[in-house]
Structure 1
Amino acid sequence: MIPEKIEVFDNSGKKIRLIFTGKSGGEGAIYAIEKEKDSCAKIFFKTGISEELHEKIRTMVKYPPGGGLTKPADEISSSSIAWPSSPLYMADNGKRRFVGYSMPKIDTGMFRESHMYYDPGDRLKMLGGSFSWQYLMTAAYNISFVVSKIHEIGHCVGDFSPRNILIARTAAVSFIDCDSFQVYNPETGRIFYTKVGTGELLPPELMGKNFRQEEITRHNSDLFALGIMIFRLLMNGAHPYQAAGKDVWDLPTIEQKTLRGIYPYVPQKGKDIRPPRYASAYGVVPPCIRDLFLECFVKGHGDPLKRPSADDWCRCLAEEIKKLKRCGTNPNHWYGGHLKECPWCELSRRGGKDLFPCTKTKIKAGENRQIAHSVSGPAQIKSCLIQCDPRHFSFRTDSCTTVKGKIEVEISGCKDGILSVGRDAEWITDIRKTGESGNKKTFEFVIEPSQIPNKKEGIRNRANILLRAASETKKIPVEIGFFLRPLCEPEIRKIILRGIDLRNPAEIQFSLRNAGEGTLTGTAETDREWLKISPESFSAGDRQEFRIKILPEKSRKSLIHGNLIFKTNGGNLKVPLFASETLSCS
């Protein structure tokens, strides 16, 4: 039974009164916060609460995405996200007990699940033809922008379910159910993995995986799903791997076609494979976007590293939105700048259904105070973009050697193009510009280990290079660790041989493992004349194999005992060996 009213307190100890909204799911219930119109709360059911969940929410509160996504509702112009703002607690026998979190309120009267916008039937029924190609492009940009900010801080969406990505009739977007995201703590390096996934949005390398049992990072999976979402928005709801034709009759599901890598928008070399009838003509999509589709679904099918980043999508979509043309016959017809004539009028002339008919349905200004509306167009996109290569740095060094890094920065959509560069840690030093060409700039920086207080082995020190242009700030993560010594560990710590013929020589295999890092080097010897080992000197990365020879005729005893002695840069080791004439081996 879900209580109608409860009292909780936030991280600062402030008492908060909650009122049940009537909405609940498998994990918890949504509550309104008394006297706070722009916030709400999620209270978990007791069965789902754990210390791991508590720590995850605390991490999310401490490390939210940038880009203004989590600011108060009246400051949001085009994108928002229901990100936790504070963990919530109840008093339990004098102790506080974690129960949920507060978050910005998303007006579900204005926002709808994203499939209602990329599905033409639902979209036309809801908005007529007023949600034009311009709005679809803008929604695709805004989704990419949110994902870029989530990735920038190290988090991942994980599950791109269209139920969790909402779109408003202004093309503004919102992400909900954020506590299911993959969350990264840059201070400790801990990752809270996503436990869910939507089958037709998963890349081939993750299909069939059990996310509840396996810890799998979802960054490359996000890029695949983001491409699918953009494809569906621009291609009349079609999935990029949905196909028709005789050669796919044995692959009835989208998941099966995805695994096979059947992308019907490229030549299929004599096969009867083609796009589904309901898909828009591929030529309607601007070449820049088609190139990214190719990278995502063809080149990136087998190589996840080739998939476009969210920043790549932002840059391309922002440029194409600027080039859009408006039809002189139907004001709802917007189309790409690469086309000479309106493709939607041409579709109607050929007897096809007009996807953006001229109707009286309008997008009303002020329907939702969370969004800056314009009757004449969609929500304004944040077009000032900062692109970086590389997007993060990871170094290993010793405690004395300085490290140098180089970063290339490209700015687009900013009026003045002025870029300021800083850092949030003293050990990133000497940042200076070394080159400039147009809107591209090159910077170099130095990491000085003497400035890092914690140089313990295995500890990763993390900081950021900060790039600022106009109202946009981008963080470039930098992490550095120090070399661990090798660590010598035996395959087994005692060798006992029974059942061997002590009258004849015997030979066994033995191995050492490097449980640390670097190269394990050293020597091997024995303390008995009848016990031989080879090689006597070695250098190994992960593992070193040895041959052990027993020459019992030199001992003439029914039970013999000796030691293998290893002297290495990862520690010294003595492994005893016993041999007798009874059967067993361990």
Structure 2
Amino acid sequence: MNNKKVSNKFYPPAFKLSKKVFWDETKIPNDVEIHSGSSLTRAVRTRDGKRKIIGEVVLETQVGQRGGEGTVYKCNIPNKVCKIYHKDKITKFRLAKLLEMQAKNIKIKGICYPEEFLYNEKGQFVGYLMNEAKGHKLQTSVMHPMVIRDKFPNWKRKQLVELCISILEITEQLHKSNIIIGDINANNILVADYNKVYFIDCDSFQIGPYPCPVGTPYFTPRELQGKKYSEFLRTKEHDMFAITTLFFMILFLGKPPYSAKGGANPSENVKNGNFPYKFGDRKGEDVPDGPWKFIWNNLPRKMKEIFENCFADNKKPSIRELRIVLKLYKDGLEKGFNYSNELLPTTNKKVPNEIAKKYKNFNK
């Protein structure tokens, strides 16, 4: 047994610690082979550990590749899939966290959240039932200049902004439910369209005193770089750094905010805070070669300010601030403020005099 105490130094103010939490890695028995065609019992569990049987589910075809924690299967229930854990990944800590998640009974559109527990013929826990996600991974569709034209041929910059708004709306609902996403990155979001997205791998969410045990350096703020994700609790502000990074990368088709000429590894780049883009009186240096300077130049000033504050000064925006700025950007594209609507602008922003006079505070 390997028990690790979870630090509550960064405990979100929205929670009250009601019990000590230990990372109990004791394995839960699971000695029945699970595969396509297996019939499993569906049940929910109360906090006192009792099961309430809902019915049965039959596994069908495997979805995608075998993951590091488990395998996802289609099943005989429409629009639902089953995540079946590898035998060595089923621990007392994982089950306790899933019980905490199920107790919150979250119903948010676009969230593939654990809904019901699945048991084999011996009554052993093996996985859970969740909503089916549809679309393409954000990382391998939107975040590549050539691939996005194939996956979403009709998209322009306006659709990128609307995609950010869709992701922000889901994030806001999770935060209102006092759930910290934690591992925010472009591989954990599927995109069916700019207004239809799905968050996957939701069992890694931080909930109550149970941390999110994983993360990605580029999406981790500088004060958390080098820490073990499983040994501390993140805050909503930490999520907002990751969300702002994600939005930058969506608008820049995959280019990270700290990517610069002569840059170091991702963790060092974030810790150094060397944001290469020019804003106001600040001299931008080492912007990478390519269309990135034109994308930056075509952003509204308020959008640039959000990015500058976050990446250079580590001041995370609120959901409200991001919503306002994204709406301004969307409105500007719709009203012809001459922010290029092309995915990859080739020139700097040129604003007609009559528009610049009328909306002089918008573009400065």
TM-score by length of 2: 0.75
Kindly indicate whether structure 1 or structure 2 has the higher relative contact order, using CA contacts under 8 Å at least 6 residues apart. Answer: 2
Structure richer in helix, relative to its length: 2
Pairwise CA distance, 1:64? 4.4
Q: Aligned equivalents of 1:288 and 1:272: distance in 2?
A: 17
- Residue number among 289, 293, 296 corresponding to 2:307 in the alignment: 293
Q: Aligned equivalents of 2:36 and 2:344: distance in 1?
A: 56
- For 2:8, the equivalent position in structure 1 comes to none
- For 1:412, the equivalent position in structure 2 comes to none
- 1:452-499 CA deviation, whole Å, 9 max, x = no partner? xxxxxxxxxxxxxxxxxxxxxxxxxxxxxxxxxxxxxxxxxxxxxxxx
Cα 1:161/1:236, change in 2 over 3 Å: closer
Q: Is the 8 A contact 1:65 1:152 kept in 2?
A: no
Pairwise CA distance, 1:282? 1.9
**Residues 282-321 of structure 1: pairs in structure 2 closer than 5 A:** 282-299=296-313, 301=314, 306-321=315-330
Q: Aligned equivalents of 2:213 and 2:334: distance in 1?
A: 43
- For 1:281, the equivalent position in structure 2 comes to 295
Pairwise CA distance, 1:313? 1.7
- Residue number among 232, 249, 268 corresponding to 1:232 in the alignment: 249
Query: Are 2:203 and 1:179 equivalent residues in the alignment?
Result: yes
Q: Is the 8 A contact 1:234 1:285 kept in 2?
A: no
Q: Is the 8 A contact 1:20 1:29 kept in 2?
A: no
- Residue number among 100, 105, 108 corresponding to 1:59 in the alignment: 100
Q: AA paired with 1:38?
A: N
Pairwise CA distance, 1:32? 2.0
Pairwise CA distance, 1:162? 1.2
- 1:80-133 CA deviation, whole Å, 9 max, x = no partner? 1111111222342xxx322111001112xx3333452032122124334x1111
**Residues 119-518 of structure 1: pairs in structure 2 closer than 5 A:** 119-128=144-153, 130-184=154-208, 191-212=209-230, 214-244=231-261, 249=262, 251-266=263-278, 273-278=285-290, 279=292, 280-299=294-313, 301=314, 306-325=315-334, 339-340=337-338, 342=340, 344=342, 347-348=345-346
Pairwise CA distance, 1:224? 1.0
Pairwise CA distance, 1:319? 4.1
Q: Is the 8 A contact 1:65 1:149 kept in 2?
A: no
Q: Is the 8 A contact 2:118 2:127 kept in 1?
A: yes
* Unaligned 5+ runs, structure 1: 70-79, 185-190, 327-336, 351-586
Q: Aligned equivalents of 2:282 and 2:179: distance in 1?
A: 43
Cα 1:182/1:270, change in 2 over 3 Å: closer
Q: Is the 8 A contact 1:203 1:225 kept in 2?
A: yes
Query: Are 2:53 and 1:44 equivalent residues in the alignment?
Result: no
- Residue number among 68, 75, 78 corresponding to 1:26 in the alignment: 68
Q: Aligned equivalents of 2:330 and 2:280: distance in 1?
A: 31
Query: Which structure would you say has the larger Rg?
Result: 1
Q: Is the 8 A contact 1:182 1:218 kept in 2?
A: no
Query: Are 2:124 and 1:97 equivalent residues in the alignment?
Result: yes
Tell me the SS of whatever aligns to 1:37: coil
**Residues 571-582 of structure 1: pairs in structure 2 closer than 5 A:** none
Q: Aligned equivalents of 1:346 and 1:118: distance in 2?
A: 12
Q: Aligned equivalents of 1:296 and 1:270: distance in 2?
A: 14
Cα 1:347/1:292, change in 2 over 3 Å: closer
Tell me the SS of whatever aligns to 2:78: strand
Cα 1:149/1:267, change in 2 over 3 Å: closer
Q: Is the 8 A contact 2:42 2:56 kept in 1?
A: yes
Structure richer in strand, relative to its length: 1
When the two chains are superposed, the root-mean-square deviation of aligned CA atoms in Å is 2.8
- For 1:87, the equivalent position in structure 2 comes to 117
Q: Is the 8 A contact 1:241 1:261 kept in 2?
A: yes
- For 1:436, the equivalent position in structure 2 comes to none
Cα 1:114/1:171, change in 2 over 3 Å: farther
Tell me the SS of whatever aligns to 1:21: strand
Cα 1:90/1:346, change in 2 over 3 Å: closer
Q: Is the 8 A contact 2:249 2:255 kept in 1?
A: yes
- 1:289-342 CA deviation, whole Å, 9 max, x = no partner? 22222332233x2xxxx411234322332343234237xxxxxxxxxx5x3474
* Unaligned 5+ runs, structure 2: 1-32, 44-51, 349-364
Tell me the SS of whatever aligns to 1:288: helix
